[in-house]
Copies of this chain bind each other. A is one copy, B any other.
Amino acid sequence: MQQDIVSQGVELMLYGMGTVVMFLALLVVATTVMSAFVGRYFPETEKVPAQPRKSATAPDDSELVAVISAAVHQHRGRK
């Protein structure tokens, strides 16, 4: 055991926490600048919904809808 493990730990804390705070502070600045820049120079012309697009399932939607339509028909036919 080195005699100065505590001081190593303190150093790690100071530099580590300092870096985390500095990095995220810079990220606040960068993000704010980026949002302003995008909002000013590249506003979205088309109206985009606020929530993220649920497009991950998109490739299957048409097929799913087809299957469902068929199922609904089948379901009704059975009645």
Q: Mark A residues whose CB is within 8 Å of B.
A: 54, 57, 61, 63-65, 67-69, 71-72, 74-75
- For the complex, give the distance between the alpha carbons of A75 and B72 in Å: 9
Instruction: Tell which of B61, B67, B75 touches A69, judged by Cβ atoms closer than 8 Å.
Output: B75
Residue of B nearest to A75 (CB): B69
- For the complex, give the distance between the alpha carbons of A64 and B65 in Å: 11
14 more A-B residue pairs beyond the given contacts A57-B63, A67-B68, with a C-beta to C-beta distance below 8 A: A54-B63, A57-B67, A61-B67, A64-B67, A64-B71, A65-B67, A65-B71, A65-B75, A68-B68, A68-B71, A69-B71, A71-B72, A72-B72, A72-B75
- For the complex, give the distance between the alpha carbons of A64 and B68 in Å: 9
